[in-house]
Amino acid sequence: MSRTRSHEIFQRALQLMPGGVNSPARAFGGVGGEPLVFERGEGAYLIDVDGNRYIDYIGSWGPMILGHGNEQVRAAIHAAVDQGTSFGAPTERENTLAELIIELVPSVEKVRLVNSGTEATMSAIRVARGFTGRNKIIKFAGNYHGHVDSLLVAAGSAAATLGVPNSPGVTPGTTADTIVLPYNDPAALAAVFEQHGDDLACVIFEPIVGNMGTVIPKPEFLAAIRELCTKHGAVMLMDEVMTGFRVALGGAQQLFGVTPDLTTMGKIVGGGLPIAAYGGRADIMNHVLPAGQVFQAGTLSGNPLATAAGIATLSILKETNPYPRLEQLGERLMTGLAKAAADAGAPYSVARVGSMATLFFGAGTVVDWDTAEKSDTERYADFFWGLIDRGVYFPCSQFEALFISVTHTDEDIDTTIAAARASLQA
Ligand SMILES: *Cc1c(COP(=O)(O)O)cnc(C)c1O
């Protein structure tokens, strides 16, 4: 399988962009070697510039739950393009997308559209601080919420993969009000609330972690966040940028029956175009300018193309309810991968919720960053390249979740398992 064109293009990219990429997770830092350069996507497949075909399990890191090139989404974007690509003024599509989000996500009463998950979390934290009049925030080690300065501590996959858990350029002052705690540890959380309860603006967390590999929350951990936030008047800020519309139509909050005060969404909500959102309780969201005083704005926010893609994607998910099918595919894949790993004598553990999952190499169940970090990343890198050679494109880091789309077939899954088996035994 030739990778000549990919190599040539990436060599040129290295001269043009830092590390040759526009986002570090793409650079294969976690597995070594050079990234593939892609030309197009078709359903569950990606085709690189050398004409190689891969079954895609990255799905643009989450958004492509309908697979690449869904016809209805494409038609919606085409229709929007013909009417004009940006006005910087209200459009009816913004209402339609907001209505869909409010209808589908249980806790959201009012919503603001932004352009990226990073913007959503940055803004939601500002609103939580503006609403409570408090400064301190809690985040969890290994949770990633975008490249917001105050959140770039112990920030999971891309940062950890590249060995920079704490970025230069983020001043100590910026992170001074950020308290980092271990995930899945209700006692540690309670202790901090005991000490700082009156100064805490919010707790931001991934309700299922995707950014240190898939890590499942203990029910008592989620319950503790809810209880302590309510008791101390802090905002429970659930970051559903990855899990929203992925693990259930109403996200992890619907799946687990936990009601946050604010929610951030991204990835699927834009159907592959740059859009994200934050929303929640109306009494909190009414603090956002111009209803309230908390400043947040965006020239391209609520963009016609992006809202068109988002509306089409959420409408399809609502009409077709693909979640039972995604659950079947996820179960088939991870059962097969677990068996392949066991047969190869590789210590492993599997974590999965519906169509997001991780096969961890190494001993023990992963519950937090300390246990995730013990994974055998070299074994993962070998596994990854063995899959590439067999036409399967997996996440290029042990610490990233894989995603399945509705266009994956049982046959694709079985081909993947066979490739994994061959790769593990090579
Ligand atoms: C991807 C992600 C973000 C950041 O979103 P961007 O659109 O990349 O800025 C934030 N939070 C979580 C949980 C994510 O998975």
CA 117 to ligand 1: nearest atom: 5
Judged by DSSP in three states, 155 sits in: coil
Catalytic one among 45, 57, 144, 323?
Answer: 144
Helix (H) or strand (E) holding 205: strand 200-205
Q: What is the pLDDT of residues 213-227, one digit of tens each?
A: 999 999 999 999 999
Catalytic one among 48, 239, 261, 412?
Answer: 239
Residue with tokens 């190494």: 362
Q: What is the pLDDT of residues 80-91, one digit of tens each?
A: 999 999 999 999
Q: Ligand 1 in contact with 413 (CB < 6 A)? A: no
Please tell me the predicted confidence (pLDDT) of residue 156: 61
Angle at 212 between CA 22 and CA 272, to 5 degrees: 45
Closest C-alpha to ligand 1, atom 11: 145
- Report how far residue 263's alpha carbon sits from residue 278's, in angstroms, rounded to the nearest whole number: 6
Residue with tokens 């990234």: 35
Q: What is the pLDDT along the chain (426 residues), one digit of tens a residue?
A: 899 999 999 999 999 999 999 999 999 999 999 999 999 999 999 999 999 999 999 999 999 999 999 999 999 999 999 999 999 999 999 999 999 999 999 999 999 999 999 999 999 999 999 999 999 999 999 999 999 988 888 766 555 444 444 688 888 788 889 999 999 999 999 999 999 999 999 999 999 999 999 999 999 999 999 999 999 999 999 999 999 999 999 999 999 999 999 999 999 999 999 999 999 999 999 999 999 999 999 999 999 999 999 999 999 999 999 999 999 999 999 999 999 999 999 999 999 999 999 999 997 899 999 999 999 999 999 999 999 999 999 999 999 999 999 999 999 999 999 999 999 998
CA 346 to mean position of chain CA atoms: 27
In b/e form, how buried is each residue of 237-256, taking b as 16+ CB within 10 angstroms? bbbbbbbbbbbbbbbbbbbb
Q: Ligand 1 in contact with 239 (CB < 6 A)? A: yes
Strand duo 53-56 + 392-393: pairing: parallel
Q: Ligand 1 in contact with 242 (CB < 6 A)? A: yes
Q: What is the dihedral of CA 410, 411, 415, 418, to 10 degrees?
A: 70
Please tell me the predicted confidence (pLDDT) of residue 163: 46
Q: Ligand 1 in contact with 145 (CB < 6 A)? A: yes
Structure tokens at 277: 């959102």
- DSSP E strand boundaries for 49-165: 53-56, 110-114, 136-140
Closest C-alpha to ligand 1, atom 10: 145
Q: Is the pTM of this model over 0.85?
A: yes
Q: How far is the CA of 411 from the centre of ligand 1 (A)?
A: 31
Total residue count of the chain as it appears in this document: 426
In sequence order, what DSSP letters do the residues of 16-51 get, joined into one string? HSGGGSSSGGGG-TTT-SPPP-EEEEEBTEEEETTS
Residue 380 annotated in active site: no
Please tell me the predicted confidence (pLDDT) of residue 172: 79
Q: How is the beta sheet containing 38-42 ordered, strand by strand?
A: 38-42, 45-48, 53-56, 392-393
Structure tokens at 244: 């929203």
Classify residue 186 by burial, with Cβ atoms within 10 Å: 0-12, 13-18, 19+: middle
Q: Ligand 1 in contact with 407 (CB < 6 A)? A: no
Residue 82 annotated in active site: no
Q: Ligand 1 in contact with 156 (CB < 6 A)? A: no
Q: How is the beta sheet containing 235-240 ordered, strand by strand?
A: 110-114, 276-280, 262-265, 235-240, 200-205, 136-140, 178-181
CA 118 to ligand 1: nearest atom: 9
Strand duo 45-48 + 53-56: pairing: antiparallel
CB atoms within 10 A of CB 236: 25
Residue 368 annotated in active site: no
- Structural domains of the chain sorted by starting position, each given as residue range(s) with its CATH number in brackets: 4-65+322-425 (3.90.1150.10), 71-320 (3.40.640.10)
Structure tokens at 153: 């501590």
